Amino acid sequence: MEYTRLGRSGLSVSRLVLGTMNFGSRTSEEDSHAIMDRAHDHGINFFDTADVYGAQQGEGGTEAIIGRWFAQGGGRRDRTVLATKVYLPMGDRPNESGLSALHIRRAVDASLKRLQTDHIDLYQMHHIDRDTPWEEIWEAFSVLRQQGKVLYYGSSNFAGWHLAQAQEAARSRHFLGLVSEQSIYNLMNRWVELEVLPAARHYGVGLIPYSPLHGGVLSGVLRKQREGSAVRSGSGLWAAAFDEHRDSVEAYEKLCAELGEDPAHVGLAWLLAQDGVTGPIIGPRTAEQLDGALRALRITLDAGTLAELDAIFPPPAPNGARPAPEAYAW
């Protein structure tokens, strides 16, 4: 396994991140525990979850599954860099969502109880809260850090401007601020390259891409269709993306075949090659899928291959002469 620092922090994390969103909904608890054990066997120490994940909304089912896995002992908690999230609704009553100091306080205690641990390594804002001032958010977060309940903070689904707001507000309090941003990022969805990724690099915030294979569209879907083994994502969004970009997907799979590599592994390897990316989140439903993802760490994409991938899936720069955000300035 390869390791890197999380943003500008001193925290060492694996370059593949184990995503747990399937645990309890599409993957049984027994299989979820087996996947986490296998991840440790491979040296993956960075696990990502959220309070809203699980089969039933508001119950924190996925966190509870992880907590029962930690409770088995064997150094499981000590070997895990644990990341979870706060913001999305955990109930229908007022103050059961968002980033108010009250909800943050209640949410972190509930997560700690479900996870059966005394601290969270990385606590991430699942979304920007446009109704809560940064002074309130950072005050609440600083209290949690003083209490030893949270060590580092991150964000998710933030715009570049949101990262700037968050970091400047933290700086005014002499607070470390964000060390990570979790965004959708893959060959088919490169919008973070316009503002989010440049801002993250500037502020020393590590980017953690989710949906690295665009819901399975980049996993070799055409080949699987020919083999009769294709399983489309449950979201119509991904089906529409495949239909719209079929020619690009076909060219991509052809290039991967020429490289002698699985498209899913090439998609992960491309993200690992991007400056500022800490590591993509992989969401295996089985231990075998987890084993396969490790191949991405051994793939080196040369300059020519990277250029071919850019030709198939062009970056969204306003002007091609310079990368964003400098592309905006003449």
What is the phi-psi region of residue 81: left when phi exceeds 0, alpha when psi lies from -120 to 50, beta otherwise? beta
Secondary structure (3-state) at 13 = strand
> 77-91 burial by CB neighbour count: b if 16+ within 10 A, else e?
beebbbbbbbbbebe
Q: How many CB atoms lie within 10 A of CB 73?
A: 8
> What gap in Å lies between CA 327 and CA 1, rounded to an integer?
36
Neighbours of 276 (CB within 10 A): 19
Does residue 53 have an active-site annotation?
A: yes
Q: CB-based contacts of 117: which residues, under 8 Å, 6+ apart? A: 67, 70, 77, 82
Out of 3, 53, 87, 252, which one is annotated catalytic? 53
Most distant CA atoms of the chain, gap in Å: 59
Cα angle value 118/122/126 (rounded, 5°)? 115
Q: How many CA atoms, within 13 angstroms, populate the side-chain half-sphere of residue 308?
A: 15
Q: Given CA atoms 103, 206, 12, 134 in this order, what sign does their dihedral have?
A: negative
Q: Report d(CA 106, CA 104) in Å as an integer.
A: 6
Using DSSP's 3-state secondary structure scheme, residue 64 falls into helix
The contacts of residue 78 (CB under 8 Å, 6+ apart) are: none
Question: In the 8-state DSSP scheme, what is residue 126?
Answer: S
Return the active site residues.
Answer: 53
